[in-house]
Amino acid sequence: MKVLGIETSCDETAVAILEIDTSGLRVLSNLINSQVKIHSQYGGVVPEVAARQHSHNLIPLLEHALAATKLEIGDIDIIAATQGPGLAGSLMVGLETAKTLAWSHNLPLIPINHLLGHLWSWLLPTPEKRESINFDFPFLSLIVSGGHTELVLVKSFKDHEILGQTLDDAAGEAFDKVAKVLNLGYPGGPVIAERADLGDASRFELPRPMIDSNNFSFSFSGLKTAVLYSWWDLKKTEQDINDMAASFQKAVIDVLLYKTKLALKKYPVSLVTISGGVSANLSLRQHLSDEFEKDKVKVAVPQLVYTGDNAAMIALAGYFEWLNTKSKKIADKHLALSIKPNLKLKAKS
């Protein structure tokens, strides 16, 4: 079957088409129109600007995806669109467009939790390559993005137990805020990672928040404040920037690693997945793989194109939802759907 995915929860307008059945999956098209350049001049995402950009870009992107795959909307079997969490105006553009398409072409529409998209993104193959879908439940999923930091025990397609999440800033948000302190621009993740490669991670002693809490909660706002205090007294040379970036990145990785290890101790599964924008961080990937794979726990990460926001992951989550929703009535309910900016993952649905 062919699944059309639409993602507009934040500052990426994205459209994807998957060809998928129970034996395998192929990404026929994965288009992402990033607004990063526009928002970087304001130092972060401006919601009103993001929504306008989505409405400007979404239809041309849809046309492009169909033309590039030589498909017509009539060839699509289901549509999956992000319902939340995210920015209200941005979500509205994607979901209302999806509703209109579904209504006018009599197609089922599956509303998707953006976090579920990230949760499944590690399964997506390189565009054009067909791959089988092969894994076992339960597994541990660490979702680290600009808006979220969640450790989830995935027991089935419909049962996701959130073991812990951030009490304040998300991991990606901390990267973005620290980059602001170091005057490195937005988004912070990629540039901090680049600087960290050149720095000495042991130069600044930064806290590892909540590492002794014996639960799976995270907190990153104190870490950002600690960076700010250490930064004031420095000359702010290039080496200072590199060393601070390295020390900060190491502190985040230590916490993520420690909490995931703690979760593995309590729930000894054989697969850990890391996804979301921060999972693009190569040092994070390396540390987690080194730590867990020596104990025969497989670490799976998305290909770099699928770490940030994309619609292929939404289409995949939509397919799983479709496959596992007993009553296929979702199809008939699409006109009543509305956005859910504060949508959470559910333990059982």
172 binds, among Zn ion, ligand KG4, none (CB under 5 to 8 A by kind): ligand KG4
- Cα 313 to Cα 299: distance, rounded to the nearest angstrom: 18
Structure tokens at 250: 């190491």
Query: For ligand KG4, which is the closer residue by CB, 173 or 243?
Result: 173
The footprint of ligand KG4 on residues 218-277 (CB under 6 A) is 276-277
Note the helical H segments in the chain. Answer: 36-40, 47-69, 88-104, 114-120, 171-181, 188-196, 221-232, 238-266, 282-293, 312-324
Please, are residues 249 and 193 in contact by the beta-carbon 8 Å criterion?
yes
- The least distance separating ligand KG4 from the CB of residue 121, rounded to whole angstroms, comes to 9
Query: For ligand KG4, which is the closer residue by CB, 108 or 306?
Result: 306
Give which of 145, 143, 166 is closest to 153, Cα–Cα: 143
Q: Is 145 in the site for Zn ion (CB under 5 A)?
A: yes
Q: Which of 24, 138, 190, 222 binds ligand KG4 (CB under 6 A)?
A: 190
Query: For Zn ion, which is the closer residue by CB, 162 or 331?
Result: 162
Q: Is 309 in the site for Zn ion (CB under 5 A)?
A: yes
Give which of 177, 197, 155, 171 is closest to 283, Cα–Cα: 197
Query: Which range in 62-70, 139-147, 210-218, 324-332 contacts Zn ion by CB under 5 A?
Result: 139-147
- The least distance separating ligand KG4 from the CB of residue 231, rounded to whole angstroms, comes to 18
- The least distance separating ligand KG4 from the CB of residue 193, rounded to whole angstroms, comes to 4
Q: Is 10 in the site for ligand KG4 (CB under 6 A)?
A: yes
Residues that contact ligand KG4, how many (by CB under 6 A):
20
Buried b / exposed e along 12-50 (16+ C-beta atoms within 10 A) = bbbbbbbbbeeeebbbbbbbbbebeeebeeeeebbeebb
- Using CB under 6 A, list all residues that contact ligand KG4: 10, 145-147, 172-173, 175-176, 187-190, 193, 276-278, 280-281, 308-309
- Using CB under 5 A, list all residues that contact Zn ion: 145, 309
